[in-house]
Structure formats: C-alpha cells, structure tokens
C-alpha cells in the first residue's frame, strides 16, 4: 500500500520550480485557457546549427537529384499569370515570381518548416471561394500546369511544398466559419481555417474540436483532414474518418464534389469523402468541411510520471485505460533522452526530482472535476502502491497543466535545435514499440555516426508519442543532415517496422519523405488499387507522371504525391518556426 503521505506529495507537490502560478482548488475549470496557450506557434525557437541568422534549406532537387521534373508539364508563362491575376481579382491574391523577383515572399511557400525541402515555385495563388479553386484547377488541368495545394505548411514529410516549379494553391483565405449547430455540435468551415481559431470559436460555445496537435496555431483544418492528422486526443475522440460529417472538394479537372452533409448518419451510396481523408491532396483539394464536435469538458487534470522501464509504461497505460476509462483524454510517452534534450534547450527545471528512463503524461477531461479527481487519486494510489510508477506529480492549475504539457509538446520543436532531425512517425504493436529506438541508437553508434562531440553527425535517437494509439515518434536528432546517416536509417527503419506489421506512417502521411517506402506497409495489390483511384480522379497527371519520371517506377503513389495534383496542407508544427 502506498503511504498516504507519499500520495499526498504527488497530488499536492508545490515545491518544484516549474510550479509558477498560485495553486487553485482541484478540478479547476481550465480547458479554454489551456488549449489557447499550449501551441508553441507563439514561441520563438532559435535555430542553433546554422551559422547564418536565416537557415534556408537546400533545393530539394539538389538534395535528391534523382527526382526529375516531368517535362510534359508546361512552364509557367506571363500569360498564365495574367489569367490567374484576372480570375482572382488583383495583386493581393497572388504572389508573382514570374514577372518580378519575389523569392523572399515565396520562401515561406517553397520551404518546409524543418528546412529539409525547398521547391522552386514562381507563383502562389490564393483563391477565396470554391468556384475559384475549381477554375484554377480546370485551367491547370487543361494547360498541363502542375500544382501543389497548401494549407498551414506545417507538414513533416515534405508533402506541402513544391519540388519543382509547381503552382502553390494556398487555401489560407478560405478560412470562414460558416455555421455551427449548438445542439448537434456540427461545425461547417472553410478548409483554410486555422485549427486553433476553430477550437477557440468552439470553446466559447462549450464544444471542442475533436483533434488537437502541437501545430494548432498554424495548421489548417483542410490540411488536417487531407493528412488524416491524429494528434493528442485520438484516444478520446477517435479518427477524422469518424468525425468528418461532410466535405466539399474540387477534383483535378475542376469538378466540385459537394458532400457537405451536416448529419451524423447518411447511408445513401458510397462514402466518397472518406477517400479524401488522408489522400494528402493527391486526388482533389478539400475546400470546406463539416466536423462533428464533442462537448468540451469543463474539468481537466494532468499528471506526469517517471517510470523505471518501458514494461512499466505499458502497465500504467493498461491501468489508465481501465480505471480512468471514459475520462482519459491523453496518454503520452516520452523517453528520458527526449526530456534531457528539452531540459538542455529550455533550461527549465524538470517536473520530477529524479531522472527516469521513461515518462508518461496522462490527461483526464470530464464534466465533474470532483469525480475526475477522485478517479485520478484512486488510480494514482493503485499504480504507486504496485510500483508501476516511480514518481509523479499532478498539476494544480492551468499554468501547471500548460507547463507539464510543454515537456511533451516541446520535443518536436527542440529536437531540431541542434541542426536537424530525421523524423519517423510510426505505428508498432505496443509490446515492441519502443525497442526500435534502442535498435536505431545501437546501429548509429556501431556505424560511428553517433557521439557527444561535433565530429559525429548524430546526437541521439529519441522516442516519444501517443501511447494510446501505438504511435511512436522516432526522432534522430542530428547536428547536420548527412547522407551517411540516412543510409544507416533507411530502409533499415522501414524493414524493422514491416517485420512487426507496423505502419511506416502513422499520422504524418507519405509526402516526399516516404514516397519510396509505401511497399513496407502496403502490398502490391493495395498499391495497385490506389493507383486505380489516382488514375480515376487525376488521369492527366497519372499518365504523365508514370510515363516520364524515373522515381515513379519505384513507387507510383508517392511520386504523384509530390509532383502534381498533390500535396496538402498538413498537420504538425508551425510556420512561425520558419519565420523566426
């Protein structure tokens, strides 16, 4: 039995330096405050590795010279630009790099936030309506102009930026909230609406967006859906395949698909919108959405634990699922290395006194703070008395909740601070999930690439993620991008995952980064069936891509995902990091 004193210490500890604000009663109503401030889009990260004050990625075509432009696609001319200028009503709706030098303005559309990919687009168009999107796509289709749809450009797989001179179609101006039904919770909004804006709108009405992720301050809901983003609360609110009630999308030939249903149930034929969820913009551009939003829980609790092993983390997860049940809204895993990096980058004191190989963050949200706290207390007493957790702390107010979440959410940002990061977002059956991190570290060490000093390109491979979804983020933190590191990692990581029947992309999508590796998660029949769908919706691009570029032979699917009616406006991590 755990001593009451020890339990009380965990529940009420106030001595740690990260406890900044006044302690308020348990079960504080904090939901709105928390979500409004937790996005690190508002922070100002420093890029440490680059010597210049502005770090710009190498051109993708230099990094990957094997990718060839499909020469059947037309070169952009001044006449094309005139068409778009006239269609969209003037200068403010386009960025014109054809008639003038607009490289600076273009950079944020050409480059991803991790500075791994940089395209050479010379035109950005910013439609304001579905009809404009339709006309743009029809024109591009008729004139063989390659395009890349783009939302918040917060993606992690190079899927939201051009590779060559594709036209960037930015959805940023399609950001209206159109309607909200306060009884049913169905929200209709433009694809370019920023996730956090939508969530704040809902917070004022007692509802919550059924998706939350670090990049919420920048990412667009259209991109979230196009990439089937998972995020922090999938364990509670399920996947977007369940939450998206309706969709309006424009097909490559300009056809508007209006399936903007606001009802929870509609079994009248094939549910085609499902195909566009996670298709990464390769078969059409999502323009509007209807989302089923759940009630916002007024009471939120967050606890942070240290654990002695991965096995104990699995036990803690199992108990949390069983005992916290309907109020469990997040179960996040972080390894000791990841927390060390956050500590080194942020200099903040750590939440717990001791150091542990693993940490978990558990969030509960419910309608009754007292009930939730009682459940949490009972759970804590159980896992402490059985020595499943070694130490822990429970946030006492909104500030502490925010501070605890920062130890999880900063990892993604911080892991790029030493120069770069190879990101693998994978799904692996839980029992095996963490061992990939150990194996990758051992392999990098053996290859002489990992070490404490600058001569080694790799600092460490770290692991963290959404334990509730068997979703691990394996980040290989590097001092510089290096082909030798890449060669050690790939296809090794993918082969490792295939052996365990995992997924090589749990929530980030394929994009450019994983285009050659789809076969590690899908068999030939499945890839063939996907090819049929691409052919069906985008016959022009399909034919052209398949007939010219070498890379497509290796993997039809993702070649499309970087070349033409492609890309999307995905999830995760903010544009501001790029502008900092």
Could you say which residues in the range 171-230 bind a copy of itself, by CB under 8 A? Answer: 181, 183-184, 206, 227-228, 230
Residue from the set 130, 505, 516, 552 that interacts with a copy of itself by CB under 8 A = 505
Question: Can you tell me which of 17, 89, 322, 539 binds a copy of itself, judged by CB under 8 A?
Answer: 322
Among the residue ranges 82-90, 98-106, 264-272, 477-485, the one whose residues contact a copy of itself (CB under 8 A): 264-272
The pairs formed by 385-389 with CB atoms below 8 angstroms and a separation of 24 or more are 385/1, 385/2, 388/307, 388/312, 388/315, 388/316, 388/319, 389/305, 389/306, 389/307, 389/312, 389/316, 389/360
DSSP 153-167: ---SSS-SS-SSSPE
By beta-carbon proximity to a copy of itself, the closer residue of 66 and 181 is 181
Alpha helices per DSSP H over 89-161: 103-110, 130-142
Q: Which of residues 521-540 bind a copy of itself (CB under 8 A)?
A: 521-523, 525-527, 529-530, 532-533, 536
> Binding segment for a copy of itself among 11-19, 73-81, 319-327, 405-413 (CB under 8 A)?
319-327
Up-side HSE of residue 475: CA atoms within 13 Å toward CB? 29
Least CB distance from residue 227 to a copy of itself, whole Å? 7
Binders in 557-576 for a copy of itself, by CB under 8 A: 557
Q: How far is the CB of 564 from a copy of itself (least distance, A)?
A: 16
List the structure tokens of 5. Answer: 């004193």
Judged by CB, which is closer to a copy of itself: 76, or 380? 380
Max alpha carbon distance in the chain (Å)? 78
Please select the residue that binds a copy of itself; options are 56, 272, 487, 579, rule is CB under 8 A.
272
> What's the count of helices (H) and strands (E) in the chain, helices before strands?
23, 16
Cis check for the bond before 343: say yes or no (omega within 30 of 0): no
Q: Binding of a copy of itself at residue 29 (CB under 8 A)?
A: no
Return the HEC string of 243-265.
HEEEEEEECCCCCEEEECCCCCC
503 part of the interface to a copy of itself, by CB under 8 A: yes
Q: List, in order, residues 6 or more apart from 210 with CB less than 8 Å away.
A: 233, 237, 238, 240, 243, 291, 292, 293, 294
Size of the site for a copy of itself (CB under 8 A): 86
Which residues between 34 and 73 bind a copy of itself (CB under 8 A)? none
How many whole angstroms separate alpha carbon 430 and alpha carbon 448? 30
Closest CA to 138 of 253, 238, 286, 57: 253
Minimum distance from residue 213 beta carbon to a copy of itself (Å)? 13
Can residue 518 be called a binding residue for a copy of itself (CB under 8 A)?
Answer: yes
**Which C-beta is closer to a copy of itself: that of 226 or that of 394?**
226
Task: Judge contact between 41 and 218, C-beta under 8 A.
Answer: yes
Q: Which of 114, 191, 232, 279 forms a contact with a copy of itself (CB under 8 A)?
A: 279
Q: Which stretch binds a copy of itself (CB under 8 A): 31-39, 70-78, 144-152, 510-518?
A: 510-518
Strand partners, 361: 304, 332
CA distance 6 to 89: 67
Task: Report the DSSP pairing between strands 167-170 and 147-150.
Answer: parallel
Q: How many C-beta atoms lie closer than 10 Å to residue 167's C-beta?
A: 23
Coil, helix or strand for 193?
coil
CA angle 565, 91, 57 (to 5 degrees): 55
Q: How far is the CB of 445 from a copy of itself (least distance, A)?
A: 29
Query: Which 470-489 positions form the footprint of a copy of itself (CB under 8 A)?
Result: 470-471
Q: 398-427: which residues touch a copy of itself (CB under 8 A)?
A: 427
Shortest reach from residue 471's CB to a copy of itself, in Å: 5
CA distances (Å), origin 533, targets 133, 258, 446, 573: 21, 19, 43, 30
Among 4, 44, 100, 265, binds a copy of itself (CB under 8 A): 265
Q: Which of 218, 287, 314, 441 binds a copy of itself (CB under 8 A)?
A: 314
The stretch among 166-174, 259-267, 446-454, 473-481 that binds a copy of itself (CB under 8 A) is 259-267
Which run of H or of E encompasses 332? Answer: strand 328-335
507 binds a copy of itself (CB under 8 A): yes
Site for a copy of itself in 366-395 (CB under 8 A): 366-368, 371, 374-375
CB of 401: closest distance to a copy of itself in angstroms?
18
* 429 lines the binding site for a copy of itself (CB under 8 A): yes
CB-wise, 37 or 323, nearer to a copy of itself? 323
Residues 289-308 that bind a copy of itself (CB under 8 A): 295, 297
Which one, 35 or 399, has the nearer CB to a copy of itself? 35
Shortest distance (Å) from residue 342 CB to a copy of itself: 24
CB closer to a copy of itself, 157 vs 406: 157
Q: Classify residue 194 by its DSSP letter.
A: B
């Amino acid at each position: 039995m755990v001593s009451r004193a020890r339990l009380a210490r965990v529940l009420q500890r106030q001595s740690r330096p990260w406890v900044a604000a006044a302690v308020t009663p348990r079960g504080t109503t904090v939901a709105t405050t928390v979500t409004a401030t937790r996005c690190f889009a508002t922070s100002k990260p420093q890029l440490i590795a680059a010597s210049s004050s502005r770090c710009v990625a190498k051109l993708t075509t230099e990094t990957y010279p094997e990718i060839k432009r499909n020469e059947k696609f037309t070169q952009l001319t001044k006449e094309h630009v005139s068409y778009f200028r006239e269609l969209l009503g003037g200068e403010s709706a386009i960025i014109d790099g054809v008639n003038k030098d607009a490289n600076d303005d273009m950079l944020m559309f050409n480059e991803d936030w991790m500075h791994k990919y940089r395209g050479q687009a010379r035109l950005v168009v910013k439609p304001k309506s579905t009809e404009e999107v339709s006309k743009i796509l029809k024109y591009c289709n008729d004139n063989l102009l390659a395009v890349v749809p783009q939302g918040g450009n917060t993606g992690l797989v190079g899927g939201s930026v051009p590779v060559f001179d594709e036209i960037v179609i930015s959805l940023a101006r399609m950001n209206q909230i159109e309607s909200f039904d306060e009884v049913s919770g169905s929200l209709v909004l433009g694809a370019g609406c920023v996730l956090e804006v939508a969530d704040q709108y809902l917070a004022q009405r007692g509802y919550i967006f059924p998706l939350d992720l670090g990049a919420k301050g920048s990412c667009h809901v259209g991109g979230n859906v196009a990439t089937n983003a998972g995020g922090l609360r999938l364990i509670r609110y399920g996947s977007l395949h369940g939450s998206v009630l309706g969709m309006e999308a424009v097909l490559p030939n300009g056809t508007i698909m209006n399936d903007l249903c606001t009802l929870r149930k509609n079994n009248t034929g094939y549910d085609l919108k499902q195909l566009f969820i996670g298709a990464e913009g390769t078969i059409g551009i999502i323009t509007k959405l209807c989302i089923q939003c759940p009630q916002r829980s007024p009471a939120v609790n967050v606890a942070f634990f240290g654990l002695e092993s991965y096995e104990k983390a699995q036990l803690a997860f199992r108990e949390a699922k069983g005992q916290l049940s309907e109020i469990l809204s997040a179960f996040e895993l972080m390894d000791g290395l990841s927390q060390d990096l956050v500590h080194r980058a942020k200099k903040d004191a750590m939440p717990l006194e001791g150091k542990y190989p693993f940490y978990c963050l558990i969030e509960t949200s419910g309608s009754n703070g007292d009930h939730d706290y009682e459940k949490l207390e009972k759970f804590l007493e159980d896992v402490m008395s059985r020595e499943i957790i070694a130490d822990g702390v429970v946030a006492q107010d909104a500030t502490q909740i925010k501070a605890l979440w920062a130890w999880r959410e900063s990892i993604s940002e911080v892991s790029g601070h030493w120069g770069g990061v190879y990101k693998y977002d994978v799904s692996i059956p839980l029992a095996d999930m963490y061992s990939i991190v150990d194996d990758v570290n051992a392999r990098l060490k053996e290859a002489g690439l990992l070490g404490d000093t600058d001569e080694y390109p790799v600092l460490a491979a770290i692991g963290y993620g959404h334990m509730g979804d068997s979703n691990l983020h394996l980040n290989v933190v590097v001092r510089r991008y290096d082909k030798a590191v890449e060669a050690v990692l790939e296809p090794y990581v993918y082969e490792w995952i295939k052996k365990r029947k995992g997924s090589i992309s749990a929530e980030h999508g394929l994009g450019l980064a994983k285009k050659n590796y789809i076969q590690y998660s899908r068999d030939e029949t499945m890839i063939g069936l996907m090819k049929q769908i691409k052919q069906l919706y985008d016959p022009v691009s399909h034919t052209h891509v398949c007939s010219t570029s070498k890379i497509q032979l290796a993997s039809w699917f993702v070649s499309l995902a970087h070349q033409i009616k492609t890309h999307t406006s995905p999830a995760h991590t903010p544009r501001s990091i790029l502008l900092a």
